[in-house]
């Protein structure tokens, strides 16, 4: 029960910031205003749901078919810059430091190469700051991309990673440790769009959903895989609230030992 309060606070303060319209970048419409009723509902949900807690440790076979399980969000959060850059280098991921200041981002990087064969790109690359990620977020995307590559997806597009701080709405986005992803493209040309294909079940635990389309199953399975493997501290799906009807929010929360999916 003690865990509930931080979870609720996180949902209020975290990401989360984005009441995103269907075709607009999240960076432009960033403020979620959650009213008092919504807060009470969220608390009630958290008290009656087990989805705000850390999942049981994933079996090695679930986490990785290979020898080494992927790092959890805690493992990633503890990495220093040298360790993180080495992790990326071992996976042939090329990056460069932005040529502009990103004061809140500890290890700011821009991606120069695919990850596990999957291109991860901003939908609106003109927003250069929005593409900046902390090195540890890029390291977490390895598991996202591995899951996607195994299912024939070779392109992921996101609204933004970094976003400017807004008064009263601190966010992992401000540190480059969160990303809002909406679009996936398969090698055969099939496009998967969260807004169209996520079979949303408002306020229900995503991993209890039973989508019927191939696209819906892919999207649910991705979110639940990332929760089960503890790759991110926070996985928000379109089930979470109105602000997330068109994207996944994934983030690493340094110092946190919990993992939530909504």
Contacts with Zn ion, residue ranges (CB under 5 A) = 15, 178, 180, 249
Contact of 228 with 260, CB cutoff 8 Å = no
Of the pair 175, 180, the CB lying nearest Zn ion is at: 180
Burial class (CB in 10 A: 0-12, 13-18, 19+), 200: buried
Of the pair 178, 223, the CB lying nearest Zn ion is at: 178
CB of 179 to Zn ion, least distance (A): 7
Neighbour tally for 30: CB within 10 Å:
22
CB of 18 to Zn ion, least distance (A): 6
Q: Answer left, alpha or beta for residue 110, where phi above 0 means left and psi between -120 and 50 means alpha.
A: beta
CB hemisphere CA count around 48 (13 angstroms):
7
Of the pair 163, 230, the CB lying nearest Zn ion is at: 163
Of the pair 146, 249, the CB lying nearest Zn ion is at: 249
CB of 30 to Zn ion, least distance (A): 9
Residue-wise DSSP of 202-226: TTS-GGG----SHHHHHHHHHHHHH
Of the pair 225, 249, the CB lying nearest Zn ion is at: 249
> Residue 12 is inside which H or E element, if any?
helix 4-13
Neighbour tally for 13: CB within 10 Å:
16
CB of 83 to Zn ion, least distance (A): 25
Token pair in block for residue 209: 């959903």
CB of 75 to Zn ion, least distance (A): 22
If you search the block for the tokens 């306020």, which residue do you land on? 203
CB of 216 to Zn ion, least distance (A): 21
- Nearest CA among 189, 125, 117, 191 for reference residue 154: 117
Of the pair 85, 122, the CB lying nearest Zn ion is at: 122
CB of 178 to Zn ion, least distance (A): 5
Rounded Cα–Cα distance for residues 119 and 223 (Å): 19
Q: Which residue is nearest to Zn ion (CB)?
A: 249
Token pair in block for residue 231: 């790759």
Of the pair 85, 144, the CB lying nearest Zn ion is at: 144
Beta bridge partners of 157: 121, 183
Neighbour tally for 93: CB within 10 Å:
23
């Amino acid at each position: 029960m003690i865990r509930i309060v931080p979870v609720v606070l996180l949902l209020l303060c975290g990401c989360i910031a984005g009441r995103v319209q269907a075709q607009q970048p999240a960076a432009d419409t960033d403020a979620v205003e959650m009213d008092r009723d919504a807060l009470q509902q969220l608390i009630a949900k958290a008290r009656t749901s087990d989805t705000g807690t850390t999942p049981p440790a994933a079996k090695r076979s679930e986490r990785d078919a290979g020898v080494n399980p992927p790092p959890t969000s805690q493992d990633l959060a503890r990495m220093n810059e040298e360790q993180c850059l080495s992790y990326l280098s071992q996976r042939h991921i090329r990056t460069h430091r932005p040529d502009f200041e990103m004061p809140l981002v500890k290890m700011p990087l821009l991606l120069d190469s695919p990850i596990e064969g999957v291109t991860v790109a901003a939908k609106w690359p003109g927003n250069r700051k929005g593409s900046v990620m902390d090195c540890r977020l890029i390291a977490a995307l390895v598991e996202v991309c591995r899951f996607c590559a195994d299912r024939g997806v070779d392109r992921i597009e996101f609204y933004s990673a970094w976003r400017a701080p807004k008064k009263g709405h601190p966010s992992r986005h401000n540190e480059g440790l969160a990303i809002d992803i909406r679009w996936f493209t398969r090698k055969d040309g099939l496009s998967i769009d969260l807004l169209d294909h996520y079979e949303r079940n408002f306020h229900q635990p995503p991993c209890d959903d039973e989508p019927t389309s191939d696209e819906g199953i892919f999207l649910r399975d991705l979110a639940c895989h990332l929760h089960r493997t503890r790759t991110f501290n926070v996985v928000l799906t379109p089930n979470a609230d109105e602000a997330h009807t068109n994207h996944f929010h994934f983030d690493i929360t340094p110092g946190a030992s919990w993992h939530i999916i909504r």
